[in-house]
Structure 1
Amino acid sequence: MTKQRLFEAAMELIGQRGTDGVTVEEIALAAGVAKGTVYYNFGSKNELVEQLLRHGMGLLMDRLGDGPEEAPEDSATRRARSGHAPDSSAAPSSFDPLDEVGRKIRRALGFIADYPAFVRLWLGEQWRADGAWQGLLTDMRGDVLEVIEASVRHVAEVRPLREGLTPGGVAVALFGAAFVTGMDRAAFHPERSLDEAGEAVLCIVRGALEPTGEA
């Protein structure tokens, strides 16, 4: 319970003012504990920030899920699994892998809405050349991009990307667009629904695909 209070207090303060702008005393005061309690639980402010980053990343990865989501079962699959003969007249599954990307985008936007202080901390430290957590932050960025790129590859298996584009490049564009859109929504436009914001970000993927030739 004490460690959780310290996490919450530190995340809010550091997310607002950056790691250099917050003291251990302020974190302890905000958490309602003695200064020594911070050192007892974390050893130092740097260790506290590292644990904050790891904790927040764990929450984000849980939100995104560990892999692509399965397509919903069509009626033929349900009948086969239940022991009934397949229905030859059943329509084929219309599962669109773009739906998987859209769900992950909405989950990311929902995470940003729930934990804006953590996102400010993460992105604020990500671009500091002299930051103390560059190795960890690089790993965090890589983990998130890996999940996004896997979903983009899933889409590209059905509809090719435009010439010159790669799943990795599209994933980076999605990463940036989702976090900027999410933070802008949290700070200035909370009235915008996750569906609206998610669809705007998803346009990046739609625009990256080869045209189908359909009218």
Structure 2
Amino acid sequence: MPAKGSSAETQTEAERIAPAQVIEAIQRKADGFKARDRELLASQLEMEQAGVRPQESRTVGPEPREMAATLLNGMAIAADRDPTPGEELHKIIVERKAIEIALDALAGRENQARIIAAAEVLQESASDWREIVRQRAMCVLALRRVNAEAFAFRERIRRLARTNPNLICDVSSGPLFGPAVVGDHAYTYLEACVKAGIISRSEIDNAA
């Protein structure tokens, strides 16, 4: 067994927090792209209001998808010379399109990271969830037992008084306090718990 603080333990801890770090890094990058897009939009509107029209550069520049890949890799977009106003506007429009593509890619990466993170949490806490499910099932069974006791108490008073007793807070119908019904939500839940091996058939029968 590796000693505390060993590389094996450190690696395990790193792997455990990796999904959260990935999500945080993706969100930081996306926030940076959104801030850049706001700057570009302001410049685009200013130039368009000044009557500038977009004009492609005389030299072939990167396509939006190529530029998006450059942005995602954290690389700067090189410029070979100072562009004309029309070329600058065209460049802004292309870069904003690249940011849109990059943000879509980041959204996909974030969704995938969240799926992985959720799967890891579920795997690590599966026993906790099973215990929660069991406790809920036991609450249903306990309510059934108490409902049966309430019925017996009510019937004992009714036989003595030969009339319906006026008991406080006495509810004897509905999904919570009525008799167990085959096929209702509680029945379906308990049957699912039995199938999953969370409770036994005898536990249900003993609560009847």
The TM-score by the shorter chain falls in which range? under 0.3
Task: Calculate the TM-score normalised by the size of structure 1.
Answer: 0.26
Quick check: which has more Rg, 1 or 2?
A: 2
Task: Calculate the TM-score normalised by the size of structure 2.
Answer: 0.27
